[in-house]
C-alpha cells in the first residue's frame, strides 16, 4: 500500500488584488491588470505560479481578486494547459481582507482535502523557495510558516516587521509598519498554512460578532473606538492573525538569503524584470536570447525576445531587456535596461535606456528615450503609456508620458498628461 505521506495534497492561493489597487502603477495599469503586466516577458503572476509548479503533490492553484473574470480567463486557461495544473480565478464579491478572502473560498480551497495551503501575494518578486519552505514547515510542526528576509534598518518600517527565535525560528512578535525600529526582518508575503488557519480566521470573525452583539445588548456603548466598524467577515492576515498568534508556538519563519522586492511601482517592475531574467539563466536558460551581430542582433547579458518580434541584426540589445510580441526593432537600435511592450516600433538608431515603452508606441529615427535608472524615484525611469509617438530626433528624459500623446519636441523631468 502506498505511504499516506506520499498522497498529501497541497494547494496554492495567489492574491492578485483588484483595480482599486495598483494606482501607483499608472499609466501602465490603465488597460492591463497589474498582475498581467509582463516582467521578463511573462505576466507578473506567472512567476509565482510557475514557482508553485515545483511544489510536490500540487493539486490546484487559485487566484483570488476583484478583477472581472473576463480579464483573467484567457491567461488562466493557457497557463493551466501549459503547466498541466488546474488554475482557477475566484472573484471576491467585496473586500474580505487577506485572511477573509481565503476564508470566503474555504470550501473550494479544501475540496481536494489538502494537508497544506500556500498563500502568496502576486506583487512580490523573489525566487519563491516553496519546496524548502514546505520541508521547514513540516519540521517546525506549527500552523503556519512565513517567508522572511533581512532588509536595511531604514526601510524595515515600511513593511511588516518581526522578531523570531534565532534557534527554533518561532515567530515571537509581529508588527505591521511599526513607528519605531523593531527589527530588520520583514514579512515577504509568502506563507504556508495547515487547514487550521480556517479555524483561526473563524475565531476572529466570531469574536468580533460576539463583541458587536454585546454592544447591541448593552445600553452603553462599551467601546467607541473605530475598531467596532470593521465588518465581521473582514479579516486581515497580519493584524488579526499573525500578531495575536505570535509567541504561541503556532507560527514560524523561514528566511530567504536571496533577492526580494515588493512590486509597487513601474520603476521597481523594471528592476524585478532584470532579477527574473537573471534567474532564467539558472532555471530556464532556453527563454533567454543570444546573438553576436552576424545573423542576429548583438545580445549582451540577460535578454528576453518574444518569438514574434522582429529584431534587425545591426541592433544591440541588453543587458536587462525584455521585448514583447510583434515588436519591430530597426537597424542600429540600442536597448539597455528596458521593457518594450507589444506592437512597438523602434525606427533606425533609436535608443532606449532605463525605460518602459508602452503598447503600440513608436519611436522615430535617432530618437532617445532614457532615464537615470533610479528605480525608487518617481521619475527615475521613463514611462511611455500606450500608443505614444516620439518623433524623429526627439529626446525624452526622466519623464512619464500618458497614452496617445505625440511628442515632437524634447522633454525632461516632466509628466505629460
Digitized pLDDT (tens) for each residue of the chain, 417 residues in all: 344 445 789 999 999 998 875 578 888 888 899 999 999 999 999 999 999 999 999 999 999 999 999 999 999 999 999 999 999 999 999 888 889 999 999 999 999 999 999 999 999 999 999 999 999 999 999 999 999 999 998 888 889 999 999 999 999 999 888 888 889 999 999 999 999 999 999 998 888 778 777 777 765 554 444 445 677 778 999 889 999 999 999 999 999 999 999 999 999 999 999 999 999 999 899 999 999 988 999 999 999 999 999 999 999 999 999 999 999 999 999 999 999 999 999 999 999 999 999 999 999 999 999 999 999 999 999 999 999 999 999 999 999 999 999 999 999 999 998
The number of helix segments (H) and strand segments (E) in the chain equals 8, 31
How far from chain centre, in Å, is Cα 233?
25
pTM score over 0.85:
yes
Instruction: Tell me whether the omega of the peptide bond preceding residue 35 falls within 30 degrees of 0, making it cis.
Output: no
Helices (H), 84-237: 97-104, 106-109, 130-140, 196-217
Cα–Cα distance, 169 to 249 (Å, whole number): 10
Cα–Cα distance, 199 to 401 (Å, whole number): 49
Asked whether 147 and 254 are in contact (CB, 8 A), the reply is yes
* Three cell numbers written together for 249: 508556538
Q: What is the mean pLDDT of the chain?
A: 92
* Three cell numbers written together for 186: 520583514
Cα–Cα distance, 53 to 284 (Å, whole number): 14
The SS3 of residue 137 is helix
Structural domains in the chain, sorted by start:
4-264 (3.90.550.10), 267-416 (2.160.10.10)
Amino acid at each position: 500500500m502506498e505511504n499516506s505521506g506520499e498522497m498529501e495534497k497541497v494547494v496554492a492561493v495567489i492574491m492578485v488584488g483588484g483595480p482599486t489597487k495598483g494606482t501607483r502603477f499608472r499609466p501602465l495599469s490603465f488597460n492591463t491588470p497589474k498582475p498581467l503586466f509582463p516582467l521578463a516577458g511573462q505576466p507578473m503572476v506567472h512567476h509565482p505560479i510557475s514557482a508553485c509548479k515545483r511544489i510536490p503533490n500540487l493539486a490546484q492553484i487559485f487566484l483570488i481578486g476583484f478583477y472581472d473574470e473576463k480579464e483573467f480567463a484567457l491567461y488562466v486557461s493557457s497557463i493551466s494547459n501549459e503547466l498541466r495544473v488546474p488554475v482557477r480565478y475566484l472573484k471576491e464579491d467585496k473586500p474580505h481582507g487577506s485572511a477573509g478572502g481565503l476564508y470566503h473560498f474555504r470550501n473550494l480551497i479544501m475540496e481536494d482535502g489538502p494537508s497544506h495551503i500556500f498563500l502568496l501575494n502576486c506583487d512580490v518578486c523573489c525566487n519563491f523557495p516553496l519546496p524548502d519552505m514546505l520541508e521547514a514547515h513540516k519540521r517546525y510542526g506549527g500552523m503556519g510558516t512565513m517567508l522572511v528576509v533581512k532588509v536595511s534598518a531604514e526601510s524595515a518600517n515600511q513593511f511588516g516587521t518581526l522578531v523570531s527565535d534565532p534557534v527554533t525560528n518561532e515567530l515571537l512578535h509581529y508588527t505591521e509598519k511599526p513607528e519605531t525600529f523593531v527589527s530588520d526582518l520583514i514579512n515577504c508575503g509568502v506563507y504556508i498554512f495547515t487547514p487550521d488557519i480556517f479555524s483561526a480566521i473563524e475565531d476572529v470573525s466570531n469574536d468580533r460578532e460576539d463583541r458587536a452583539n454585546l454592544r447591541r445588548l448593552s445600553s452603553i456603548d462599551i467601546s467607541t473606538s473605530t475598531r467596532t466598524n470593521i465588518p465581521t467577515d473582514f479579516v486581515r492576515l497580519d493584524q488579526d492573525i499573525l500578531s495575536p498568534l505570535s509567541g504561541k508556538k503556532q507560527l514560524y519563519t523561514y528566511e530567504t538569503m536571496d533577492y526580494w522586492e515588493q512590486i509597487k511601482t513601474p520603476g521597481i517592475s523594471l528592476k524585478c524584470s532584470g532579477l527574473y531574467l537573471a534567474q532564467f539563466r539558472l532555471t530556464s536558460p532556453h527563454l533567454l536570447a543570444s546573438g553576436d551581430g552576424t545573423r542576429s542582433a548583438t545580445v549582451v547579458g540577460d535578454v528576453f525576445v518574444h518569438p514574434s518580434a522582429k529584431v534587425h541584426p545591426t541592433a544591440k540589445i541588453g543587458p536587462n531587456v525584455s521585448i514583447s510580441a510583434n515588436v519591430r526593432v530597426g537597424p542600429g537600435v540600442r536597448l539597455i535596461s528596458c521593457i518594450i511592450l507589444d506592437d512597438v516600433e523602434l525606427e533606425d538608431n533609436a535608443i532606449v535606456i532605463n525605460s518602459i515603452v508602452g503598447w503600440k508606441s513608436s519611436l522615430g529615427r535617432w530618437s532617445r528615450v532614457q532615464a537615470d535608472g533610479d528605480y525608487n524615484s518617481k521619475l527615475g525611469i521613463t514611462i511611455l503609456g500606450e500608443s505614444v509617438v516620439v518623433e524623429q530626433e526627439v529626446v525624452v528624459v526622466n519623464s512619464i508620458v500618458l497614452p496617445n500623446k505625440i511628442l515632437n519636441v524634447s522633454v525632461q523631468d516632466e509628466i505629460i498628461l
